A = this chain, B = another copy of it.
Amino acid sequence: MTKGRLEAFSDGVIAIIITIMVLEFKVPHGDDLSALHSLVPVFVSYVLSFVMMGIYWNNHHHLLQAAQQVNGRILWANMHLLFWLSLMPFVTGWMGESRFAPWPVALYGVDLLLAGFAYFVLTKALVAHHGRDSHLAAAIGRDIKGQLSLVIYLVATPLAFVNTWLACALYVLVAVVWLVPDPRIEKTLTAREK
């Protein structure tokens, strides 16, 4: 089974998730700067989620670039990832509108945790299909970043009830870790082309 439609479908879903998040910005009733004031937390949560979705798209892009073919199990592992990502507009909107209240911040972390776990499952399904000696398996390696992210989310989510800003700082930390481009996959891909 070719991977083209899986990529196209995932691109479509991620593109729509990113874009409908902006629908949470309700056009304010006033027409001066103070009308924007109440939108600041919504904007901050939007920026964070936009970056997170960008990271997922980027990693998904790299991952499937390294893949050669897909099977039914991979299709469903991918659908599972898209499910948790599809809840991002909701958890982002709730976090922003509640001005970063404990429960919404914790739920945001839970969704990130489940999406991260789904991504982990997807990599496992891909490695199982391509073999442990494949370039894909080499490219993914031990996936320190992915597992570190899950640990940080696990710590950050309960922290939301102690200090919401600390929890958010940890979410931002994960984003920063991933924003640094992953040299392993690019290196392996480059090596393969030689």
Say how many copies of this protein the assembly contains.
Answer: 4
Stretch at the interface among A21-29, A117-125, A145-153, A166-174: A21-29
Give CA–CA (A126, B75) in the complex, Å: 23
Q: Indicate if A54 sits at the interface (CB-CB under 8 A).
A: yes
Q: Is the CB of B90 within 8 A of A22?
A: yes
Indicate which residue in B5, B32, B83 contacts A50 across the interface (CB closer than 8 Å). B83
Interface of A, secondary structure class, is: helix
Give CA–CA (A12, B14) in the complex, Å: 9
Q: Indicate if A89 sits at the interface (CB-CB under 8 A).
A: yes
Interface residues of A in 89-148 (CB under 8 A from B): 89-90, 93-94, 97-98, 101-104, 107
Q: Is the CB of B86 within 8 A of A58?
A: no
Q: Indicate if A156 sits at the interface (CB-CB under 8 A).
A: no
Q: Is the CB of B11 within 8 A of A9?
A: yes
Question: Which of chain B's residues have a CB closer than 8 A to the CB of A20?
Answer: 16, 19-20, 22-23
5 cross-chain CB contacts under 8 A: A5-B61, A16-B16, A20-B20, A31-B103, A61-B75
